[in-house]
Amino acid sequence: MLTVLRGGHVVDPANGRDAIGDVWFRDGHIVAPPPGGKADEEIDVSGHVVMAGAIDIHSHIAGGNVNTARLLLPELHRAIRARLAGTPLSTAKWSTFETGRLYAQMGFTTVVEPAMAPHASLQTHLELNDVPIIDKGALTVLGNDDFLLRMLRKGEAESAVNDYVALTVGNTRSLGLKCINPGGCEAFKENLRVFGLDDEVPFYGLTSRQIFQALQKSTQAVGIHHPLHLHMNNLGIAGNIDTAIDTIDAAQGLPLHLAHVQFYAYGKEGKNAFSSAGARFAEKINANPHVSVDVGQVMFSDTVTISSDVLKQFNSLPGGMPKKGAIFDGDANGGGVVPYAYKISNFYNAIQWAAGLELFLLINNPEQVYFTTDHPNGGPFTTYPDLFALLMSADLRARIMARLPAEALEHTILPSITREYTLYEIAQMSRSGAAKLFGFTDRGQLAPGAIADIAVYRPGKDIAGMFRRAAFVFKDGDLVVRDGAVTHYKRGRTLNIRPRYDSNITTRLDAYYDELYGLPRSIFDLPDAALPHNDAFAEVACRK
């Protein structure tokens, strides 16, 4: 069936479009307007904004740690309303089903879960499989695993490390690598409570710097599009801007993605020894175009922090709100889950909020900075519409700033920033740039050949409302959202890459599992037969 969306304001930065026009699609893909062609279905979207489906590059939506958060906090996600027909469990708060529904309603069609432990990848994929409508992807976590650290300690050839990386990413069916407090979780098992960029991992003689640099190189060598996705040391600590700057300096000029950088944008000024260093950080990022970042914006709300940075999460436990949590020392990283409430009246939270916005507004290239709240760590993903509104309206920011503790405003330059994001820039950040960051050529844009993942918004005074309830959302050409409500489910795919490696590494790994664990390595496998559907995955090509 040939469909045309007629007369909308098409915002498609990948193709330089920002004008009134039509978008045609057939059989799940965007097509060129057929000469003299007549659509089987014509939808009038005049007065609407038409964009490709949005891509969230970093949101903790699946896996053992996320599930621990669900089970830890029943009081935080009581459901309140029955679901619509055709959408089972879609109002079960914090469920995978609700996740798919809520993302779709906001016009999101692809979401990446950024922290999959190799030894628990099956559960992550089972959960992703139960997120309806949208496509998913995941990043595999390495950098606290004994096998890698041993290789690096022995000074093995880069080719061996590359084979290990390629095999692990391939076997866990992910889109690339994340490294979370490299070496720091191993150090925490040996009772270290702080771990910086140049601290040594006990018994391995390696620093965080060396570990992430090795993985950064490997990521490039095996052809993974997405740069190494790094969760740096010293998250959340006053003065950690120095760690961030040093980390960028350590990036060797190679591509590097820094996760939730707001949590590293802290100076030590003022009587509370806590200030925003967003401006200094943004300047550094502007000067290093090979570095991309997502922000991890704090949005004032009751939430829960979920992280594989076990050391950091352990340190957060005494400040939990409510005071409880789960600390899990995994085979490599593990995870920690601690509830938290960001309050507008809290000085520290206000600084965090302002630091995040400074980063957004002072980084020049919208394809270098990504909106995230590091869901749910800075706030739930459902606050994205409010975040977009903040970026697009200096007036709205001023209204919120008026409610912050006055002393917080002394330690941020946010009040002086007048920049307002345009729709085009929002689309760069959430569509074209996000697709490039993962090497997706089939989405994040509306050129013929792309999949027909399309979000149509009705603009109005209420910017957040516009993004919260898309007027229409098409997934693979199928109309799944109308007037902000999901009409039915469809099954999305989990995107993954298959980098190549020398199969000698498998023999070596088999022997390692046998010797250390006395277990066949295959117990950690992710066979197709383990998932409910045999078409759960879709492969994305590696970089040549």
Partner 1 sequence: MSKATLDGKAIPLQDACREAARILGGATFPVIAGLGADVAGARAAILLAEQLRGAFDHLASREILADLDVMRSFSMFTTTPNEARVRADVLLFVGPGLSALWPGMLERLAPGQPPRHGAQAGHPRRVFWIGPEANEAANIPATVIPASCDELSELLAMLRARVGGRPVAGDDARRTGIDELADVLKNAHFGVVVWSASSGIDPLAIEMLQAMVADLNVTTRCTGVPIGARAGAAGVTQTAGWMTGFPPRTGFGRGYPEHDPWRFEAKRLVESGEADAALWISAYDGEAPPWSNNDLPLITLSPAGKEPGRGLYIEVGKPGVTHDAVEFAQEIGSLALRKSHAPTGAPSVAQIIDAIATELRGEVSC
Judged by the rule CB under 8 A, the positions of this chain that interact with partner 1 are: 62, 64, 66-68, 70-74, 77-83, 88-89, 91-97, 119-120, 122-123, 126-127, 130, 146, 188-191, 202-203, 314, 317, 324-331, 334, 516-519, 523-525, 527, 529-530, 532
Nearest distance, CB of residue 137 and Zn ion, angstroms: 14
Residues 141-200 that bind Zn ion (CB under 5 A): none
Q: Tell the smallest beta-carbon distance from residue 139 to Zn ion (Å).
A: 10
Report the nearest approach of partner 1 to the CB of residue 129 (Å): 10
| Least distance in angstroms from the C-beta of 306 to Zn ion | 8
Least distance to partner 1 from the beta carbon of 105, Å?
17
> Using the rule CB under 5 A, is 425 a contact of Zn ion?
no
**CA 483, 88, 114, 359 torsion: positive or negative?**
positive
* Amino acid sitting at position 112: V
Window 347-386: contact mask with Zn ion (x via CB under 5 A): ---------------------------x------------
Residue with tokens 């498609």: 12
Please say which residue, 3 or 124, places its beta carbon nearer to Zn ion: 124
Q: Which is closer to partner 1, CB of 189 or CB of 458? A: 189
The option from partner 1, Zn ion, none interacting with 94 (CB < 5 to 8 A, set by class) reads partner 1
Nearer to partner 1, 126 or 245 (CB): 126
Q: Which does 93 bind (CB under 5 to 8 A by kind): partner 1, Zn ion, none?
A: partner 1
Longest C-alpha distance within the chain, in Å? Answer: 71
For residues 374 and 453, which CB has a smaller minimum distance to Zn ion in the complex?
Answer: 374
To the nearest whole angstrom, how small is the minimum distance from the Cβ of residue 481 to partner 1?
Answer: 20
> Residue 284's closest CA among 250, 309, 233, 236?
250
When the beta carbons of 263 and 472 are compared against Zn ion, the nearer one is: 263
Out of partner 1, Zn ion, none, which partner does residue 170 contact, by CB within 5 to 8 A per kind?
none
* 20 vs 516 by CB, closer to partner 1: 516
| C-beta closer to Zn ion: residue 180 or 451 | 180
Task: State yes or no: cis peptide before 35, omega within 30 of 0.
Answer: no
Question: Closer CB to Zn ion, residue 374 or residue 425?
Answer: 374
Q: Which is nearer to partner 1, 188 or 438 (CB)?
A: 188
What is the number of residues in the chain? 544
Report the residue number, 511 or 519, with the smaller CB distance to partner 1. Answer: 519
For the CB of residue 15, give the shortest distance to Zn ion in the complex, in Å.
31
DSSP state string for 386-413? HHHHHHH-HHHHHHHHTTS-HHHHTT--
376: cis peptide before it, omega within 30°? yes
Q: Which residue has the tokens 């076997």?
A: 171
Contacted entry of Zn ion, partner 1, none for residue 77, CB cut-off 5 to 8 Å set by kind:
partner 1
Judged by CB under 5 A, the number of residues near Zn ion is 1
Tell me, what amino acid is at 478? D
CB 287 within 8 A of CB 251: no
In sequence order, what E strands does 476-526 have? 478-482, 485-486, 494-496
Q: Report residue 327 as tokens.
A: 């600390």
Binds 529: which of Zn ion, partner 1, none (CB < 5-8 Å by kind): partner 1
Tell me whether residue 458 is exposed, middle or buried, using C-beta atoms within 10 angstroms of its C-beta: 0 to 12, 13 to 18, 19 or more.
middle
CA dihedral 302, 307, 309, 312 (to 10 degrees): 10
Q: 461 phi and psi, to 5 degrees?
A: -60, -35
Q: Produce one character per residue of 196-233: b if its CB has 16 or more CB atoms within 10 Å, e if not.
A: bbebebeebebbbbbbbbbbbbbbbbbbbbbbbbbbbb
Tokens of 223: 């052809």
The distance of closest approach from Cβ of residue 114 to Zn ion in the complex, given in angstroms and rounded to an integer, is: 5
Q: Which residue has the tokens 């099956």?
A: 122
Residue 374 interaction partner, one of Zn ion, partner 1, none, beta carbon < 5-8 Å per kind: Zn ion
With CB under 5 to 8 Å by kind, the binding choice for 245 among partner 1, Zn ion, none is: none
Q: Are strands 369-370 and 291-294 parallel, antiparallel or unpaired?
A: parallel
Query: Which residues are near Zn ion by CB under 5 A?
Result: 374
